[in-house]
Structure 1
């Protein structure tokens, strides 16, 4: 017979009783079916009857008798119901009717191991089994749903309103799954919705080539036409500026609409191109225009369907084709001719001009070529690094040059090279740190040596040491600042006339001789072309020359001496390269005599003498290149040079003033920062490397100094007269 068990929540032995009752139910179930339950045909014809305001448990008992289900009723299941049912209901329909009655009153039926538990709906999720194939539409179950293309945690907020109030929905981010507790019918409905939401729109995409307009502009226009309330999952639009293409992803129908819209917008304009003016910041327009013209030519060949090599070869192929060929060669030749014509027409539409006055480029070309050229300009128009080259030209006597050596020392872990003169020459920079007791003696025939100074004051100390040595003659100390990979030149000397030919005209009775003269530079010249390599190594092309005029003697024309070095070296940033070995030999003859007596013929030899001497000097060139990448470093070296002059002036001003100098004519330089502020358009600030340098104001024009003044450059000659 059918068993109905009411649970008493206060009974401590309810679980044991439940086992006994269930056992009895199983025993009864083992009895002949005919003795317990009526046959299905009888059950189908049995009258269920109508219930008017009866206890819910009474209805459950009636359903249990007619359907054969075993029910376990929770003590919290209470209430009165009214049920009107037709005659002759099938047991399955009768059970479904009971489930609907329970749902209306906030209760659910949970199947577990052949027993149907009737519990409050809010307790259902604690006792529900995982779904199987025997549930009906009103049964409560727990099911795990897989999500493939959308984040499960985002779907929780969308699907939660669709779940029953007593149901449960949670998303697992790790496995991208949903766990749902609800009726079978509602879960079926949610799964149907999930299939439409969980779609891979981004797996379907297409690329559209834009021919006549900028792809990024078209993409922005089309995006503006999509209503924001439609969401962003239907179709996505992205532009590739490099290839001037648009990428569409999303639903096929929406992509078809966007494809048609883009085709309507991608139409040629009246000018068949765009004209743009691009202002350059650092590059020179006349230099960069040549590069762009070559790139534009290659781009035009590529767009016409030919590569650069193919376009060059297609014309000869067309010329040698025979008209009487019976194969398909003429068709191929004709196609090539069309491509070449297209390329020619495209080239005619491309124009790149440079405006030197504004340092700008004017480009007229199809949109895709303009986009490609703009990217090239962006990469070329950058601030170039500069190289400051400090040089010392010094003549050292042969005796002193033989004692020249190089010693290497270390400041901590930084490693700095220090150059010393050993022997009789004064020490330029003392050894510090842990010097390596190795000295490479550089004799009079030295060709090359390299060293490095630690810090910026070593160069000034080295220069002072050379200047203070009587056996060293400093010829010049030039400084050159030039752009990377640009040649710089400095010349200190004079123009000397050289006779290149002579001619005497006798066309008339009067002889008219004349000579042709060519003036040449004689003195000290330095040409340097730096190139910054990887790792701040500087490649230097050096052309150094020292020339001088020698006494005429017995020569008919002017004679000069010339000492020249042409070399290529690689030096680290801030290191010093030494070039030497240019020896000059001077012979002097001094005649001494006693006035009057030395001129007596014969006996005069007793009262006069002749002394001859020879002196050899070694020309050495010290070069120190420093990389200057931004305004801060440029200002640092400018300040350093200015302070050297300022300190020297302060030293001279401490000397006793000569009586013949008018008081107030000794000019006084201002401090560097004060002078910089007075000569700048704006207050000095630390500008980044990409910013343009601040242009100084033009120096005011002043009349000759009549009174006291402290301006830089005032009474410049008077400064050096004393």
Structure 2
């Protein structure tokens, strides 16, 4: 070869190499061809290290390549080139920036691959199981873009798993590489219960004891074996109804999740209903229902054994039948048939049957009185359970005989089933919860002058009130019909029925703010239908009712009789609730107070009292007004001594006559409480008025009620 030509060729080759180095910061070396014969791991790693730090043997020039920038590593390309294996797109790890290492492994023995990745590239401390070290599998892995260390570790872990090799992170940069089915090397962790295992070492075997709550373990182990196979070892302890699970953490967790689904009550999610037969025993009714439903094509059984579409379970002790079905429509079908079958048995003789009815909402003695009138007999009562019946037994007749057991509030009927069927409908209609009425009364005393008088009348007229006459007793005042408002000019007591109570309450509050009204009381009382309720807020004043002198002692001894008189605010109501939400009210309201000492050292009691009977609709307020009291007073002011001179003293004094009139306003509003829901709403409303402390914990704060606004006509304003 000609030396000048060789030098020229070497110069051109060096220029090309330097140009390539200047265009890229990363040096890609030509792959080194490895022999097909096996190489020891230490020789392989040494060859790889030498390859990353030296130039190929075919390069004869002495040019020094540009060093890589800081933080960059030279690529490792052992083996012969082949098609690249793409890894994570973009070449970026989680939180580690851009990739820095390019991989190209081709037909490398598996132990050498592990040593190259975890020892050389990742620089981790690892232990290699002998079973893995003896493997002769060849691994191929190439990356088309630079990878981060985290991406390389993830790709290597997934690749090794396809070869049946598991990588366990022991922490602090230590790894353990074993066959994927290995369960040895660590002490097992033993758990009890159904808590999911939290195992810091993924290869640590788990032995968990699971106790079944609703089903037998032998019924579940067959399902689990079919689902999970041999991944988890399951030992059935039938004597204790437990199951021992052994396996990896993930597999045991999956089995526990399946047990949570399978260990459920037999009847969970099914409809249930209780039937109380009247004319048949529970066993007889269950048998007839099962026969009838099976004839229709349903699968029904009258025993608790097994799970069927329809389970009929009779309970003889309480003569009840429990029905379980999976479909609400089927349940309704069973209930309809039970009503049809539970009919009187016509084969029983008259007077030979005993029937009991437990009153739920009403006194059994009151119900028995109604039945007595229907049957035309005398009702016998039993005072206590097991005791002989009190009273005169009823004479036997064609209708039957009734006995009341007051201890259990039960009616016992002896007679034919036909008669009892007729009486049962009547009993069920009468045995219903009694309604109640909440009576709200506001008693206010208004000081009257010309302006206030006009203001009160205007307020009632503006709120749409219309006054009606009332029949009053016990107060000695005539009832007049007002021409408008309260009818103060008539001098009698009037009753105003209002369409809304908000305006009047706002008016009373306004008068109280201007010191022209005094809200004496605002009692509320709940009374049962047809019964009297009384509320009293006040005191009892001792008064002398009589005095007697003892003649034997010469008139020295005096015998006095003292009676106590109730004073204060006393409200007595008796509601009678009718259908159509109407209420008849017997109302007695008294406001009294002791003022001064009168005759025989007894106090004088000022009393304002009314007693009336009203017929109202639920929630409709009624206003009672016209109880006016008048106090006259005369005051004298002037120059001392001079004002007392007869005749001329009038020039030195001023006489003032004061007339103070007060009117008692009573606002009554009834509310019907039909059931527990209404009672709860009323209780919540009272709690909201009392404030935050009275509300249950966690209850939301209700919005404030908006009272109706008063008319804004300037000519009708109250001064």
- In the superposition, the TM-score normalised over structure 1's length comes to 0.40
